[in-house]
Amino acid sequence: MEDQRKPEKHKTSTTSSLLWFFGISTCVKLLLIPSYHSTDFEVHRNWLAITHSLPLDQWYIDKTSPWTLDYPPFFAYFECILSFFAHLVDPKMVDLEKGLNYKAESVVLFQRLSVIVCDLVLLYGVYRLSKNFSMGFKERVLMWVLVVWSPGLVIVDHMHFQYNGFLLGLLMMSISYLMEGRDLMGGFIFAVLLCFKHLFAVAAPVYFVYLLRHYCWKGFVKGFGRISVLGAVVVAVFAAAYGPFVYHGQMQQVISRMFPFGRGLCHAYWAPNFWVFYIILDKGLAFLLRKLGLNIPVPAASFTGGLVGDSSPFAILPQVTPLTTFIMVLLALFPCLIKIWKNPQPRSTARWIAYAYMCGFLFGWHVHEKASLHFVIPLAIVAGNSLEDARHYFLLSIVSCYSLFPLLYEAQEYPIKVLLLLLHSFLMWHSFSALFTEDATAKAVVSAKKTDRQVGLKGSSSDFVGKGGFHVGWIGRCYLFGLLVVEIWGQFLHPYLLGEKLPFVPLLLISIYCALEIMYSWIWQLRQIMVST
Amino acid sequence: MEKERKKVQKPKRETESNNLYDVSCSFFQKGIMGSFLLISIFGLLLRVSVSLHSYSGAGSPPKFGDFEAQRHWMEITTNLPIKDWYSNTTYNDLSYWGLDYPPLTAYQSYFHGLILKYFDPNSVSLFTSRGHETHFGKLLMRWTVLSSDLLIFFPAVLYFVFVYHGGNRSSGDKSDVAWHIAVILLNPCLILIDHGHFQYNCISLGLTLGAVAAVLSRKNLLACVLFCLSLNHKQMSAYYAPAFFGHLFGSCLRRKNPALEVLSRLAPFERGIYEDYVANFWCSTSILIKWKRLFTTHSLRLVSLVATTLTFLPSMIQQILAPSSKGFLYGLLNSSFAFYLFSFQVHEKSILLPLLPATLLAMELPGVHSMLLMLCALLSMFPLLCRDKLVVPYMALYASSILLYLAPSGRRHIKKHLPRPMITFSIVTIHFVCSLTFHIIYLTIRPPEKYPYLFEAMIMNFCFSHILGFTVYTNAKQWMLSRQIFIWGQRKET
């Protein structure tokens, strides 16, 4: 192909353009340093202190602060490395006792900058993806707009405070290796990722089936050899992570910290997933039956209070246990796994992995709204594949970003989150339109030779040229309008009309409304996976 | 012709960088409104994020800074009758941030004061609110600047771009138009001063910009109204007066319709003595010549008046002789440069005034020049912003303005106007090395006891040399313009 004939020029231009995108986003991130940060900020500071001032065998035992270490060991090692620099910047920051709730300017600057620097991993992941894959230049730019300028990442990482950019960077790297066909490397990086944050394990079945079929299923002898190699790699990664804790005999303790099932089915603010409907159905049924004269006891635990104990919070429908959610996720994944087994194609891996995280998000136990990033970011890789994909991504991405709004509840950040979402929607609109319309003016600029090449490169998208470009249809438009209504109700009308009454209603509305789109999107993705050849 | 040349060049260097340019072209295909919407949202985002940071005089009693001044004016105007606003009374202590801007500023303070009074009465109560600093109060104040920016500066930019690029059906390159909008809207100095340091320059500059657009679209009456409003918001707008005067007077002479007495009455005189370190002539040369010791204040005033007049006179004469749209923009730039360099009582922040026409001319001036001017202006405000604890937003916006010039359109723009690549490249390199050293020195090294303002003086001289160079260059450009017209006219005749 053309691309291979002049790899050098191609490469430098891609790199510099990508760096430009990254530079702009870094400027915005720098400006956001003094913005609101959640308790996660103190959580991570505490982890710096734990890993710096305690020996390794105390890491998962320490209880000085309520924010105990509950990520897998690689993340602890990572914090340990960071804490070395943190100690140089301000020794008080890594002090276990004196550092509690320490919020000096130096701490804010150090922690914020560490997140910004760690985003380089995301940059590398995106670079790998755009380097290898036979995308047109427009599609590449589209992916940068969607991933490097993702508003969700800015809200969660650079305002709320977490290291998702770094972790998603690892995921993107892993996907890029899978798409290249370097399965072993992809599996290795995924194993590393699991040892950074175990929430990513939802996609493990997809990886397992895919690697088994695509990498190992090559006849008996060769296959057996490959299985052993893959197994050895994974075991080695896990040994590196958990080895020291096994040595100290603390595996039980580490696992109990990492999986706190004592937490409830839903987070204090309900993530927009399947369980929202389940709870609503339960409440509705209870209400209805009470109206009919049946004596329905009010459950002791309530959802809206945020505190969920051991007793069942449901009045009528059966209690949901972690095992139930686990089975439901697996069931939801099952059709996809069969498809993978039948037709393991490297180019579909991104979609499958995103689908797995979507299942985890919809049916998982104690899901955070932030987890929606786990599927929105990988889906960006395939968003430019077809007009249909673009349409669905457009809505899904807006909804996912909108569902993050309750994270930033202070007035100071209100304009920022709204502007981020608006900017993202406009950028998506512009880039999808640029991708799917061959405007007369664009044609005039693009020289004849290039047009030929482009059509050759992405024959699939040229089919859509005739259909009149990018639009979301009237249902999509109505839905977006509804989103606006929900926001206006929650922000302005509700406090004005009802005052302090029913304070949970605005959040509930956001959850339900966003859950609608995410459920729909999930069904669509499932269909897409089943239909694709 | 431009397009033809491009087509000829294309086959020669069919590279991927062209591709990126094409992508940005198709990206901005939706016309001026689409690009403007997109860029203005980004501009707002930058402004809101800068406003998260500290402001002038935060937590430094007893006098605080510009933030307190603006808040105090709101306090005065909302609590006292209009006749007492400017006079020293028992309720109005003029020595504590007395109102020293023209009445429109006072009305604006009154209006914003009413808003503050509605949401947070404590922040504007008489006397007791002095040094009022709360999170909510800061937020409200920040939002008043944001809304003024959005309601005045942004529409003015849109108006200007529509006039300059000939409406939505313009034949020009959409991507270049978008870049032009970005250069005007994302002016880092304006963002830092208004939303970081805290001032309302967006209002007076927005009004001026509206006046400029009105002049370009031949709506002279509207232009007069807008420019007078601008003058009545900040007397500094008088920096532009010679250009307005020259251009309008020149076009009046041609049209025999002298309806512009309003403007001719505006005397661009400034009063006072320089205090702070500014990259202008008096401050920079004071290292060698002790102006204050050699001359009395009165004679200095005269000298500076003469110097200023002599500097803006050529560009004004050019406009009287041959008024043209481009010449008018150059005139604005040159006259504001003249005032910045030679008038008295110039503040660091006054660099905003020449920057506005410089950004308007971004499509005309060579890319390298306008980039260097922007960076110089930023550097000249660096000591001020350091005092305001705005180093982080400063760095972020410094980087973003470089990135803006490295955007596909900007890069093409820089390449297009490059006369001698090697020389330009070395100049740019020297500039970057120098400013990097200045930044690092200023941030890390303490100045010697004997010369506490040594580094400020160094920075100011560096910036002064650049700005002086620019002034000479843009004046020459303006006169070349009239020569071109002249030659063109001669050809027409023959």
Top-confidence range, A245-259, B28-42, B44-58, B157-171: B44-58
Q: Residue A97 to residues A46, A71, A92, A110, A298: CA-CA distances in angstroms? A: 10, 21, 9, 19, 43
Q: How many angstroms away from the CA of B95 is the closest CA of chain A? A: 33
**SS3 sequence of B165-208:** HCCCCCCCCHHHHHHHHHHHHCCHHHHHHHHHHHCCHHHHHHHH
pLDDT at residue B246 above 70?
Answer: yes
Residues in chain B: 494
Compare CB distances from A445 to B22, B46, B52 and report the shortest one's residue: B22
Q: How many angstroms away from the CA of B19 is the closest CA of chain A? A: 7
Non-local (6+) Cβ contacts of A104 within 8 A are A90, A92, A93
Non-local (6+) Cβ contacts of B27 within 8 A are A141, A430, A431, A434, B175
Structure confidence at residue A256 (pLDDT) = 86
First to last CA, chain A: 24
Task: Please judge whether B20 and A34 are an interchain contact, meaning their C-beta atoms are less than 8 angstroms apart.
Answer: no
- In the block, tokens 């940060």 appear at A37
In A, minimum Cα distance to B195 occurs at A31
Q: How many CB pairs under 8 A join A and B?
A: 126
Could you tell me which residues are beta bridge partners of residue A367? A266
Mean residue pLDDT of chain A comes to 85
Angle between helices A414-436 and B31-50 (to 10 degrees): 150
pLDDT at residue B196 above 80?
Answer: yes
Whole-prediction pTM? 0.89
Distance separating alpha carbons of residues B37 and B39, to the nearest angstrom: 6
3-state DSSP assignment of residue B264: helix
Nearest to B428, CA basis, from B418, B438, B416: B418
- In the block, tokens 């500076």 appear at B304
Task: Please judge whether B25 and A442 are an interchain contact, meaning their C-beta atoms are less than 8 angstroms apart.
Answer: yes
Higher confidence at residue A218 or residue B37? B37
Q: Does A465 touch chain B (CB under 8 A)?
A: no
Compare CB distances from B49 to A31, A138, A450 and report the shortest one's residue: A31
What confidence tens digit (pLDDT) does each residue in A158-189 have? 999 999 999 999 999 999 999 988 999 999 99
Handedness of CA A63, A64, A70, A75 (dihedral sign): negative
Could you tell me which residues are beta bridge partners of residue A266? A367
Which class for B451: exposed (0-12), middle (13-18), buried (19 or more C-beta within 10 A)? exposed
Task: Please judge whether B26 and A141 are an interchain contact, meaning their C-beta atoms are less than 8 angstroms apart.
Answer: no
Percentage of chain A beyond pLDDT 70 is: 87
Q: Does A307 touch chain B (CB under 8 A)?
A: no
What count of other Cβ atoms lies within 10 Å of the Cβ of residue B134?
11
Structure confidence at residue B487 (pLDDT) = 54
Top-confidence range, A137-146, A429-438, B297-306, B384-393: B384-393
pLDDT at residue B461 above 70?
Answer: yes
What confidence tens digit (pLDDT) does each residue in B79-121 have? 998 888 888 888 888 888 888 888 899 999 999 999 999 999 9
Which residues on A lie below 8 Å from B45 (Cβ)? Answer: 28, 416, 419-420, 423
Interface test with B, best of A6, A11, A24, A31 (most B CBs within 10 A): A31
Q: What is the mean pLDDT of residues A199-223?
A: 90
**Least confident among B64-78, B228-242, B245-259:** B245-259
Instruction: Provide long-range contacts, Cβ within 8 A and 24+ apart, for B129-137.
Output: B129/B71, B129/B75, B130/B68, B130/B72, B130/B75, B130/B96, B131/B61, B131/B62, B131/B64, B131/B68, B132/B71, B133/B58, B133/B59, B135/A412, B136/A411, B137/B71
3-state DSSP assignment of residue A227: helix
CB A97 within 8 A of CB A64: yes
Non-local (6+) Cβ contacts of A384 within 8 A are A135, A138, A139, A142, A143, A390, A432, A435, A461
Query: Quick one: tokens of A402?
Result: 């909108």
CB B265 within 8 A of CB B244: no
Could you tell me which residues are beta bridge partners of residue A402? none
**Least confident among A157-166, A231-240, B362-371:** B362-371
One DSSP character per residue, A91-125 reads GGGG-TTTTTT---HHHHHHHHHHHHHHHHHHHHH
Which class for A229: exposed (0-12), middle (13-18), buried (19 or more C-beta within 10 A)? middle
- State the complex-level ipTM: 0.88
First to last CA, chain B: 23
Q: What is the mean pLDDT of residues B172-197?
A: 89
Nearest to B263, CA basis, from B250, B279, B276: B250
3-state DSSP assignment of residue B48: helix
Task: Please judge whether B30 and A449 are an interchain contact, meaning their C-beta atoms are less than 8 angstroms apart.
Answer: no
In B, minimum Cα distance to A433 occurs at B27
Higher confidence at residue A478 or residue B491? A478
Handedness of CA A407, A413, A416, A422 (dihedral sign): positive
Q: Residue B471 to residues B31, B278, B303, B366, B395: CA-CA distances in angstroms? A: 34, 16, 19, 14, 26
Task: Please judge whether A31 and B46 are an interchain contact, meaning their C-beta atoms are less than 8 angstroms apart.
Answer: yes
What count of other Cβ atoms lies within 10 Å of the Cβ of residue B154?
18
pLDDT at residue A15 above 80?
Answer: yes
**SS3 sequence of B292-314:** HHHCCHHHHHHHHHHHHHHHHHH
Q: Residue A73 to residues A68, A173, A366: CA-CA distances in angstroms? A: 13, 20, 22
Structure confidence at residue B19 (pLDDT) = 61
Structure confidence at residue A231 (pLDDT) = 93
Structure confidence at residue A211 (pLDDT) = 92
pLDDT at residue A457 above 90?
Answer: no
Q: How many angstroms away from the CA of B22 is the closest CA of chain A? A: 6
Structure confidence at residue A216 (pLDDT) = 86
Under DSSP, the state recorded for B94 is T
Nearest to B227, CA basis, from B190, B194, B260, B250: B260
Which residues on A lie below 8 Å from B174 (Cβ)? Answer: 441
Instruction: Give φ, ψ of B269 to 5 degrees.
Output: -105, 140
Residue type, B397: L
Query: Quick one: tokens of A341?
Result: 């087994």
Which class for A200: exposed (0-12), middle (13-18), buried (19 or more C-beta within 10 A)? buried
Mean residue pLDDT of chain B comes to 83
Nearest to A64, CA basis, from A86, A42, A35: A42
Of all helices (H) and strands (E), which one includes residue B69? helix B66-79
Q: What is the mean pLDDT of residues A128-139?
A: 78
Interface test with A, best of B48, B142, B409 (most A CBs within 10 A): B48
